[in-house]
Amino acid sequence: MNSVKNLTLILCLFFLIGCIKFSSTSSDLKNFNLNNVKIDEDTYPVVIIGGGFGGLTAGIYTGQANIKNLLVTGKTPGGAITMSHSVCNWPGEKNISGMALAKKLEDHARKSGANFLQAKVKEVDFSVWPYLIKIKSPNDKSKVIKALSCIIATGAKPVFLNIPGEQKYFGKGVSKCATCDGPLYKNKVVAVIGGGNTAITDASYLSNIAKKVYLIVRRNKLRAKGKVVNEVVSKSNVEILYNTNVKEVIGDGNKITSLKIYNNQNKTTSNLNVDGMFLAIGSIPNSRLFKNKLEMDTRGYILLNKDQQTSKSGVFAVGDVCEPEFKQLVIAAGQGAKAAMQVQKFLENIGYDPTKFSFKEKNDIRENHKESKSGQVIEIKNIDQFKKEVLNYNGKVVVDFYAHWCYPCKMMMPIVKKMAQVLPNIKFVKADISKVDSLGNIWGVRSVPTFLLFKNGKEIYRFTGGKKEEEFKKIIINKF
């Protein structure tokens, strides 16, 4: 009899909790009253922050649902995968470059009605509704837009070892993108740091280019799983160093020459001669913007309540910013679709009807997708042309060494074109290192993009990595 009473009490308790939860949800929706909202050109039913696969998919789904959206993205939509030379696990694509795949999703999103904006989100305010999102465009114009709902798809950034020499030789042998910089290490010796799926993928890619690939793993086994693991382990030019930590990057001032490594099992230190080191040791979620505004775990991943719902009603998160374990394109895309459908349901519950609300376009908020007229940038196709356009030229030349699959390179291309227009007294040329790799070897290019400045046929300065437009222009003017 007592057991029956206990069971009855338990069932009643669960029912009460459910009622409280339902009541709280219903009460929460009362805080979102569209009758009190002034709808103007700066108000959007949904703002998607981030242009990776999760954000692009959310743009496709919300656009096709006739929900006015704004997709705030970087210069090259697609996210980190655009740096990948080969993607083999996207359904329906046996082998495609990350950039080509991202372009397909971008085109799909645009045709579905997604509104792209190239800008940086500086601040969000989820304490008021509509939610406030402060953005800054490339021309340094700041403004605040309002969102009835929000999807966060800001991704994650790679982790560094934080050891001596790592930053000193970054771009001079130290890289975080094997597919960007790998072709520069043809027939050389390289090391990949990490034991997960990314490290295995990088080692596999580099094994087809480099003479020797060391895979340095700090534990006694690999975390990576799948068919590719066996393929990499069986390759004759790949050697795995287990129980090993990299303690220092050593170089000659211009490039790295070796790594100081420590075997944590037999407690010995030695030097490993390499020409390049590629980092594949995980990532940190890009969630600092939402600190103290959304619930997160101790590592900074945004916590989810139900599906993609965050701790704030009407705010959803997708992809690597909320996914600590399964960092896959298809998962981010699936979460983007799910978040879009949750947005649709949220908007319906608060009384949003797309046929009754008009959201006007404003010229300064929409991205002009048409390519503007730009100055001439000469494409170098062989050594003889390089000699003619650069070494035998009596004047100033900026050489852009790039790779067509490199994300930072893609970001720099419109800036280089613009500089060719606004600095007519300087010649701008570019060379794809995958097509003229001999030039990269001759000039000691260890990372892309790398910019070399020549005056009367002599190199006077060089720098690597993506730069903002004003910084890029300032460097060129000051060094010439």
Would you name the residues annotated as active-site residues?
A: 177, 180-181
The secondary structure of 245-295 as a DSSP string is EEEEEEESSSSEEEEEEEETTTTEEEEEE-SEEEE-S-EEES-GGGTTTS-
Torsion of CA 69, 75, 81, 83, to 10 degrees: 170
- CA dist., res. 448 & res. 460, Å (int): 19
Do 295 and 302 form a contact (C-beta atoms < 8 A)? yes
Sheet order of strands, 120-125 included: 43-44, 142-147, 131-136, 120-125
Alpha carbon separation from 73 to 105, 106, 283, 367, 394 (Å, rounded) = 13, 11, 20, 10, 41
Alpha carbon separation from 464 to 123, 165, 226, 453 (Å, rounded) = 29, 17, 35, 12
Burial (Cβ within 10 Å: 0-12, 13-18, ≥19) of residue 36: exposed
Q: Which residue has the tokens 């080509």?
A: 100
- CA dist., res. 312 & res. 295, Å (int): 9
What 3-state DSSP class applies to 166?
A: coil
Burial (Cβ within 10 Å: 0-12, 13-18, ≥19) of residue 310: buried
